[in-house]
Amino acid sequence: MPLYNKLKEYRAKLGVNQQEMGALVQTSRQTISQIERGDYSPSVTLALKIAKVCGVRVEDIFQYEEEEE
């Protein structure tokens, strides 16, 4: 999947666990875990909420890279 993220690092900087992060952005702990593992790409709305909670731009957390063929 070409969407990479630094959610785990930013969540650690905030000092919150996955459950608490989920509550802050109105999603489940499982969703936060899946995003961190790269198994799930968040919606634009969820990505914006995560960035706002972390106090950074979406691009600081999520990076899209084209897959080489």
The pLDDT tens digits of the residues spanning 8-67 come to 999 999 999 999 999 999 999 999 999 999 999 999 999 999 999 999 999 999 998 877
Total-model pTM: 0.89
Identify whether the C-beta of residue 67 lies closer than 8 Å to the C-beta of residue 1: no
Q: What is the pLDDT at residue 68?
A: 72
Coil, helix or strand at residue 2: coil
22/20 Cα distance (integer angstroms):
5
**7, 27 contact by CB (below 8 A):** no
Cα distances from 26 to residues 2, 7, 44, 68, in angstroms, run 25, 15, 14, 35
